[in-house]
Amino acid sequence: MKTITTDWELIPYSEAWSRQTEWFDALVHAKQGGEKYENRIIFCEHPHVYTLGRSGKENNMLLGEEQLKAIGATLYHIDRGGDITYHGPGQLVCYPILNLEEFGLGLKEYVHLLEEAVIRVCASYGVEAGRLEKATGVWLEGDTPRARKICAIGVRSSHYVTMHGLALNVNTDLRYFSYIHPCGFIDKGVTSLQKELGHNVDMDEVKERLGSELLTFLLSK
């Protein structure tokens, strides 16, 4: 089956979640019925929003409802793995809706693939990134006191079909991370390509590079 790339651009989180779920359910249904389907890689950005995963702790959100309103943000409890994270303008969000069995991937291998694609995109900008043991996502200087996260990853899988995905900080307003314990961590920082490079980065260029890396990995399976 073919894999297509879609760009939703700036879209409210609730709308993106609804559309994701619709496509996810359709792929699961088609797979179970032996029907044709399309794998999708979706790119988008969201207005300011915090999402709390199934295993997340409420106290990792440091603001109350009124304070959230004051900074123009909303909070959603969602069905992915992981704890709390932030999405906002300048952050590239990628939602792959894929049949992992078609690519011969297990869930751990899939998450590793997402991490590797982001690591390679960072390297293409001269930013050395990597993994941190027992901490999903992509990090800079992960094994040092200066450890900082540049990409969060949280996925849901059912019948080996995926949804949710990754959030790469490109030109993100990092102040919004100060209102949470990102992914449950209180002793590690966050960063962005913009912060590391000292200048704005072209979002369309990052989308192109990340899409290319993901498709390359999938087509090699």
Query: Is 211 labeled as ligand-binding?
Result: no
Query: Is 73 labeled as ligand-binding?
Result: no
Residues 170, 172, 174, 176, Cα dihedral to 10°: -140
Query: Is 85 labeled as ligand-binding?
Result: yes
Query: Cβ distance 43 to 5 under 8 Å?
Result: yes
Query: Is 187 labeled as ligand-binding?
Result: no
Residue 44 bears catalytic tag? no
**Any long-range contacts for 182-185 (C-beta under 8 Å, 24+ apart)?**
182/84, 182/85, 182/86, 182/149, 182/152, 183/82, 183/83, 183/84, 183/85, 183/135, 183/136, 183/137, 183/149, 183/152, 184/56, 184/57, 184/60, 184/83, 184/84, 185/135, 185/149
**Of residues 44, 122, 151, 183, which has the active-site annotation?**
183
Query: Is 184 labeled as ligand-binding?
Result: no
Query: Is 87 labeled as ligand-binding?
Result: yes
Query: Is 104 labeled as ligand-binding?
Result: no
Strand, coil or helix: 169: strand
Query: Is 37 labeled as ligand-binding?
Result: no
Query: Is 84 labeled as ligand-binding?
Result: yes
Strand, coil or helix: 75: strand
Q: Binding site residues, as ranges?
A: 80-87, 152-154, 165-167
Question: Would you name the residues annotated as active-site residues?
Answer: 183
Q: Binding site residues for substrate, as ranges?
A: 80-87, 152-154, 165-167
